[in-house]
Amino acid sequence: MTLDPSDMPSDPEVNAATSSQRLRNFLVAMVAIALSIALFLGSRQQTEQPSLSTLAVNSTPLEVALANQKPTLMEFYANWCTSCQAMADDMNSLKQEFSDQVNFVMLNVDNSKWLPEVLKFDVDGIPHFVFLDGDGEALASSVGQQPRQILADNLAALVAEETVPKSQAIGQTSIFQPAVRGNQDDPRSHGGMPAGGLERS
- Residue 50, classified by CB atoms within 10 Å of its CB into exposed (0-12), middle (13-18) or buried (19+), is middle
Pairing of strands 103-108, 72-77: parallel
Lowest average pLDDT, out of 103-107, 128-132, 169-173, goes to: 169-173
Q: What per-residue confidence (pLDDT) applies to 14?
A: 60
Q: What per-residue confidence (pLDDT) applies to 2?
A: 56
Tell me the CATH number for domain 52-200: 3.40.30.10
Q: What is the pTM of this model?
A: 0.65
Question: Is residue 68 among the annotated active site residues?
Answer: no
pLDDT score of 59 more than 90: yes
pLDDT score of 124 more than 80: yes
Domain coordinates of the chain in residue numbers?
9-47, 52-200
Options 52, 84, 88, 107, the catalytic residue: 84
> 107, 88, 78, 73: which is closest to 175 by C-alpha?
78
Q: What per-residue confidence (pLDDT) applies to 170?
A: 65
Options 52, 74, 81, 107, the catalytic residue: 81
Question: Is residue 81 among the annotated active site residues?
Answer: yes
pLDDT score of 34 more than 90: no
